[in-house]
Amino acid sequence: MTVMSRAWGRLTLPGKVIFTAIPLLLALGVALALVVGILGGPIVELASQYGAVLRFLVAATIILVITIPTAFLIIFMEMKIIAFMNLRVGPDRVGPWGTLLSVVHGLKVLMKEDFTPSRADPLIFTLAPVVVYGSSVMTLVVLPFAPGLFAQDFNIGLLYFFAMGGLAVVGLLMAGWSSFNKYSLLGGLRSAAQMVSYEIPLTLSVAGLLLLAGTMSVNQLVANQSGWFTNWYVFQQPLGFLIFFIAVTAEANRTPFDLTEADSEIVAGFATEYSGMRFGFFFFAEYVNVFIVSAMTVALFFGGWNAPFPFPALAILLDPGSLGIWLLLGIAIVPLVGTLVLSLPFLLTRSAMPAWQAIVLGFVLFNVAVVGLLGVWAFVSFDWVAGLLWFLAKTYVFVFTFVWMRATLPRVRIDQLMGFAWKWLMPAALLNLFVTAGAILVVGR
């Protein structure tokens, strides 16, 4: 008990709030599910009456919650992949292959002292991480994860994405100013300058794509790229993709453009004075941003949730109802037979192994096979499962690319950074726009 109370005493205020909030939320969720399950009818009727509001609330909650595992996963990927590229071992203490280290990082951040410098502006100092994190969460709203699996489909989706992404600049400026530290202020100003500069080629680079597609709804853009992978916009807009990817790297503050908090050179830029969970929010927002920009690249240029080629209808769509009495027999017999069949090789070949061990092993193998088959069945019969898998697979390829770039490329200088944006990227984006417009005039869409 004393251990618990000591650990509790070490938590900072946000830590205490979060540790009480998580069980409360879990209990509330279970209670809600139970109430809906028991009462059934009237609740569903009431829900369908307020369908739009309810859908919005559920979507907002899901979006807020999925940022946590996403960030944890990307932080772990970054630690482990960079370690492998540097010929190090990387995290290997907590959990299998160190997978739980990012959870420990999260707990650590909650227990650290949450420090506000004297003469800082406490209100703005506290709100700045919220603005940065909020702006990146808000952009998640328009991301289409799978057919029918998106929070909101705006007909101005892409514009909304850029507008909300631009809000992060305000948060960085707030952080830099309110820290009451010259270096924080300079860091905030230079990160704002960088992000404002790179917003221009970023927005211009998708203008050609919008001319081709004729819509700004991200959902519609993804739907336009269905069929073979040659329909992906990257093949019609290679230059646009290149500019978009470079600009987005700068927007997400990733190497080689991570000048906003060049860890090894200028302490931490705008975040110098931050500690505890308030720094944690900046950290979190960065990794959520990596996911978001990868997902946006995939949605715009790499077909989003579309498979690279149309699957031949390998959907032997099982219709379990048609089996009749055989279905019941199958449910009763198949696990038994499957377990025995799968344990047979061990029984026959490993004489040192006792029979019960072989049977347990067979049961485990049978379960693995069933889960695999269930996955295949879900992939084939539900559109959104296949879509989600393709989308996440492509997205994590780009997340890996960002990590790879961080392990490989050196950082650029600030004047090189600005010169590159204004002298190369912007003219290239304009050229891309002109060529696309000309091609559309000559060839048609």
Partner 1 sequence: MGAWKYLLGTALLAGILLTPALIVMGPAGGSFDDALFVVLAALMLVSGLAVVTMRDIIRCGLAMIVCFLALAGIYGVAGSPLVAAAQVLVYVGAISVLVLFAIMLTQSKRAPSRLVFQTQAGPAAVLAVVIALMVTLTVTGTAWNEVAERMRVGASALAATLFADYVLPFEIVSVLLLMAVVGGVFLAKREERGS
Footprint of partner 1 (CB under 8 A): 13, 53, 119, 121-124, 154-156, 159-160, 162-164, 166-167, 169-170, 173-174, 176-178, 180, 185, 188-189, 192-193, 196, 199
**What is the distance between the alpha carbons of residues 195 and 136, in angstroms, rounded to a whole number?**
14
Q: Among residues 122 and 320, whose Cβ is nearest to partner 1?
A: 122
Q: Among residues 71 and 213, whose Cβ is nearest to partner 1?
A: 213
**What is the distance between the alpha carbons of residues 380 and 315, in angstroms, rounded to a whole number?**
6
Q: How far is the CB of 157 from partner 1 (least distance, A)?
A: 10
**What is the distance between the alpha carbons of residues 124 and 178, in angstroms, rounded to a whole number?**
6
Q: How far is the CB of 19 from partner 1 (least distance, A)?
A: 18
Q: How far is the CB of 268 from partner 1 (least distance, A)?
A: 18
- H helices present in 269-382, as ranges: 276-301, 325-349, 355-381
Tell me if 83 sits within 8 A of 89, measured CB to CB.
yes
Site of tokens 């720094």:
279
Q: Among residues 14 and 335, whose Cβ is nearest to partner 1?
A: 14
Q: How far is the CB of 97 from partner 1 (least distance, A)?
A: 41
Q: Is 234 left (phi over 0), alpha (psi -120 to 50) or beta?
A: alpha
Q: Among residues 122 and 310, whose Cβ is nearest to partner 1?
A: 122
Q: How far is the CB of 177 from partner 1 (least distance, A)?
A: 6
Q: How far is the CB of 160 from partner 1 (least distance, A)?
A: 6
Q: Among residues 121 and 383, whose Cβ is nearest to partner 1?
A: 121
Q: How far is the CB of 176 from partner 1 (least distance, A)?
A: 8
Tell me the angle at which helices 276-301 and 157-178 cross, rounded to the nearest 10 degrees. 160
Is 315 strand, coil or helix?
coil
Q: How far apart are the first and last CA of the chain?
A: 70
Query: Is residue 201 classed exposed, middle or buried when 0-12, 13-18 and 19+ CB atoms within 10 A define those classes?
Result: buried
Q: Among residues 156 and 341, whose Cβ is nearest to partner 1?
A: 156
Q: Among residues 123 and 393, whose Cβ is nearest to partner 1?
A: 123
Q: Is 289 left (phi over 0), alpha (psi -120 to 50) or beta?
A: alpha
Q: How far is the CB of 166 from partner 1 (least distance, A)?
A: 3
Q: What angle do CA 217, 378, 368 make, to 5 degrees?
A: 135
Q: Among residues 160 and 398, whose Cβ is nearest to partner 1?
A: 160
Q: Among residues 27 and 53, whose Cβ is nearest to partner 1?
A: 53
Q: Among residues 191 and 343, whose Cβ is nearest to partner 1?
A: 191
**What is the distance between the alpha carbons of residues 359 and 432, in angstroms, rounded to a whole number?**
64
Q: How far is the CB of 199 from partner 1 (least distance, A)?
A: 7
Q: How far is the CB of 192 from partner 1 (least distance, A)?
A: 6
Q: Among residues 189 and 360, whose Cβ is nearest to partner 1?
A: 189
**What is the distance between the alpha carbons of residues 87 and 80, in angstroms, rounded to a whole number?**
10
Structure tokens at 312: 């031949």
For 441, the enclosing helix (H) or strand (E) is helix 426-443
**How many helices and strands in the chain, by DSSP H and E?**
17, 0
In the chain, what's the furthest Cα-to-Cα distance?
78
Spatial CA neighbour of 275 closest among 380, 394, 184: 184
Q: How far is the CB of 193 from partner 1 (least distance, A)?
A: 8
Is 146 strand, coil or helix?
strand
